[in-house]
Amino acid sequence: MKVRLFFFLAAIALMALIGWRFTQERAELQAQTGQRAMRMNMAPVVSIAEARIGDVPRVFADVGSVEAPLSVRLATKVAGRVTYLTVHEGDRVRRGQVLVRIDPAEVEAEVRQARAALAEQQYRLAQARITQDPATVSVVTQVRQQEAALASARADADQVQANFSAQVEAAQADVDSATANVRSAEANLANVRARCSRAEALAAKGYISTQELEDARTAVGVAEAAVAAATARRAAAEKQVAIVRTRGQADIHAAQAKVKQAAAALEYARANTAQTSAYRQSVAALQAAVAAAQAGVRSAEARRADTVLLAPFDGFVTSRLLDPGAMATPGQPILALQYMRQVWVTVSVPEEISGRICTGQRAEVTLDSVPGRHFFGKVTQVNAAADPQSRQVSVRVTLDNPDFAIRPGTYAHAAISTGVTHGALLVPREAVQQDREGSYVMVVDSRAQVHRRPVRTEDGGAADIAVTSGLEPGERVVTMSAMPLREGMAVQTGPDGDRRRPGGRRRGAPGSAR
C-alpha cells in the first residue's frame, strides 16, 4: 500500500513539473514574438552620404601580358659539334660573355688554305713586278715559268694516278680479306650445322642430354651471326672500293684539267709579246688575284669567329635547346636570351578609348605573381592600327625591373589614366547597387524614408563613381544598411552614417536582396 502511494505521488509531481515547464516555454515564445515584431517595426539604422559635385579621374584597366623588349634565339652560322656550353635556363649572362663554342677544326683548315692561296698570289705578284721593266721584259721568263708550272702539273697528275692505284689496291685487298673471312665463317657454319645435326640425331636416341643439344643449336646461331657480320664487312669493303674509285677518278680528272690549264698558259706565254701593256695587264690581274685571296682570308677568319657565340646583351637564359656534343647546323637555335632590366606590358584597348591614350601617360601595374607590390611606368608605344579581328589597339607600357621581380610571359593588371572628368556628380561606390533592372541607389528623403532611384553611371575613382542621370546634387543616398531596405521604409542614421563627403568604402549593402 505504501509503495502504491509513493508512485502515485511521484506521478502527480512529474505532471505538475511538466505543466509548469510548458507554461514557461509558452511565455518565452510570446516574449520573443513580441520582440521580433518590435524589431520589424523599428526603423533600421543606415549610413548615408550626400551626392556632391567633384572631379573624378578616368582610368582604363585590363589584363595584359608581360614581354621582354629584347628576346633573341642564338644560332650558329657554321655547322659543327658543340664543344662548350655551360649556361642553363635561369642563368644570368653579361654582354660579350662566351656562351657557345663550335668545333673550329674544319674552319681552321679553311683559314690556313685561304692564307696559303694568298701567299701564292703575293709571290706571283712579286715575281711579275720584278720582271716588269718594259726594256728587259722577256717572254722567255714567262715561258719557262709556265713550262715549270706544266711540269709541276704533270708531276701532280702522275702522283694522283699513282695514289689512285695504290688506294684501289689497298681497298681491293680489304675486299679480298673480307671475302676470305666470309668463306671461313661459312665453312665454320657448315661444320657447326653438321655437328648440330648429329647432336639432334643422338638426342633423338637419348645418347646426349638436352643441354648438349641446346649448346649445339646455340653454336649454329653464333656461326650464322658471324657469317652475317663477315658478309656486312665485305659489303662495306666493296662500297669503300667504289668510293675510292669515284674519288680517285675525280682527283685524276682535276689533275688532268690542271695540266691542260698549264699547257694553255704555256701556249699563251709563248704567243705573248714583250709589250708593256701586256705586262701591266698581267700585273693588274695578279693584283686583283691578291685582293681576291685577301677577301678569302677575311671570309675564312669571319667564319672562324662565327664558331664562338657571345651574349649580345645583359640578360637571362630562358631556353637551352642543345647540349655539349650535339651537332649544330646553320640557323638552328641553341640558346634563347631575354633582356629583363626593363619589361613591356602589352594590353588591348578598345577603339573608343584608344584615342584618349598617348605615349607618356602614367600607368600602374600589379601582378598576381608579385602580390602586394605596385609598379609604375609610362605608355611608350601605341599601335597606329587596330587589330582587324578584335577591333582593339595594342598599347605597351614600359616598366623598370631592377630586381627582376617581373617575369616575361606572365599576366599583368594594367591601369592607364585616360583623363579627368570635371564637375561630375559623385557618390560612394558602395551606394550604387545592381540587379536585373540595372543600377540603382536608395535615396533618403526629408522624412527619413528611402526610395529606390534608377541611375546611370560612368567612370569613377577607387572610392567614388560618377552618376550621369537619376540623381541631383545634395540628395542623400544609403551607403550601408544592417538589413535589406524596401520602398518607403523609414530609416534612421547611425552615429557615423551622415557623411557629407563620400570617399572611403564601407562594407554592407544598402539595397534589397539582389
- The CATH number of residue 315's host domain is 2.40.50.100
Question: Any idea what DSSP says for residue 488?
Answer: T
What's residue 397's pLDDT? Answer: 94
- C-alpha cell belonging to residue 356: 584618349
For position 6, what pLDDT does the model report?
Answer: 67
DSSP for residue 391? -
Q: Domains in the chain: how many in total?
A: 5
Burial bucket for residue 416 (CB in 10 Å: 0-12, 13-18, 19+) = buried
Task: Considering only CA atoms, give the Rg of the chain.
Answer: 49
Which of 134-138, 153-157, 452-456, 501-505 has the largest mean confidence? 452-456
CATH number, domain with residue 187:
1.10.287.620
Which of these three, 420, 453, 482, is where a domain ends?
Answer: 420
467 occurs within a structural domain: yes
In a domain, 189, yes or no: yes
Last residue of a domain, one of 273, 299, 318: 273
pLDDT in tens, 86-110: 899 989 999 999 999 998 888 888 8
- pTM (global) more than 0.95: no
- Residue that the C-alpha cell 584597348 belongs to: 349
**CA distances for 167 relative to 155, 161, 184, 257, angstroms:** 18, 10, 26, 21
Name the pLDDT band for 352 (thresholds 50, 70, 90): confident
Quick check: 123 pLDDT over 70? yes
Give a yes or no: residue 282 inside a domain.
no
* Any domain includes 250: yes
Average of per-residue pLDDT across 452-465: 79
What does the buried/exposed string (b/e) look like for 307-342 if buried means 16 or more CB atoms within 10 Å of the residue's CB? bebebeebbbbbebebeeeeebeeeeebbbbbbbeb
| 4-37: pLDDT as tens digits | 766 677 777 777 777 777 777 877 777 676 556 5
pLDDT at 496 over 50: no
Q: Which residues contact 222 (CB under 8 A, 6 or more apart)?
A: 192
Q: Are residues 254 and 161 in the same domain?
A: yes
Q: 3-state class of 317 per DSSP?
A: strand
The sign of the CA dihedral 429, 434, 440, 442 is: negative
Per residue in 40-65, pLDDT (tens digit) is 556 788 888 888 888 877 778 889 99
Q: Indicate whether 363 and 455 sit together in one domain.
A: no
Question: Do 407 and 367 lie in a common domain?
Answer: yes
Nearest-5° Cα angle at 56, 50 to 60: 135
**Do 415 and 457 fall into the same domain?**
no
- If asked whether residues 353 and 459 sit together in one domain, one would say no
Of the candidates 94, 234, 253, which has an alpha carbon nearest to the alpha carbon of residue 175? 234
Instruction: Report the pLDDT value the prediction gives residue 354, as an integer from 0 to 100.
Output: 83
Q: Domain residues for 475?
A: 45-56+421-499
Alpha-carbon distance 332 to 329, whole Å? 6
Average pLDDT of the segment spanning 264-288: 70
Residue 388 and residue 370 share a domain: yes
Q: 175's torsion region: left (phi>0), alpha (psi -120 to 50) or beta?
A: alpha
User: Where is pLDDT greater, at 211 or 99?
Assistant: 99
Q: Is the pLDDT of residue 502 over 50?
A: no
**Whether pLDDT at 293 is above 60:** yes
Whether the CB-CB separation of 67 and 365 falls below 8 Å is answered with: no
Give the pairing of strands 308-310 and 92-93.
unpaired
- 1 to 7, 13, 16, 231, 260: CA distances (angstroms): 10, 19, 23, 124, 155
In this prediction, residue 171 has a pLDDT band, given cuts at 50, 70 and 90, of: confident
Any domain includes 280: no
In terms of phi and psi (left: phi > 0; alpha: psi -120 to 50; beta: otherwise), the region of 196 is alpha
Per-residue pLDDT tens digits for 472-488: 898 899 988 878 888 88
Assess whether 226 and 157 both reside in one domain: yes
Mean pLDDT of all residues in 492-512? 46
State residue 398's pLDDT score: 94
The answer as to whether 294 is a domain residue is: no
Same domain, 162 and 227: yes
CATH (domain of 441): 2.40.420.20
Instruction: DSSP for 27-88, please give it.
Output: HHHHHHHHHHHHHHHSPPEEEEEE-EEEEEEEEEEEEEEEE-SEEEEEE-SS-EEEEEE---
Q: 415 lies in a domain? A: yes
313/266 same-domain check: no
Reduce the DSSP state of residue 258 to 3 states and report it.
helix
Residue 312 and residue 365 share a domain: no
| Whether residues 268 and 146 fall in one domain | yes
Q: Are residues 321 and 429 in the same domain?
A: no
36 falls within a domain: no
Domain termination residue (choose one: 371, 405, 420): 420
* Residue 392 burial class via C-beta count within 10 angstroms: exposed 0-12, middle 13-18, buried 19 and up: middle
In this predicted structure, the answer to whether residue 122 has a pLDDT above a threshold of 80 is yes
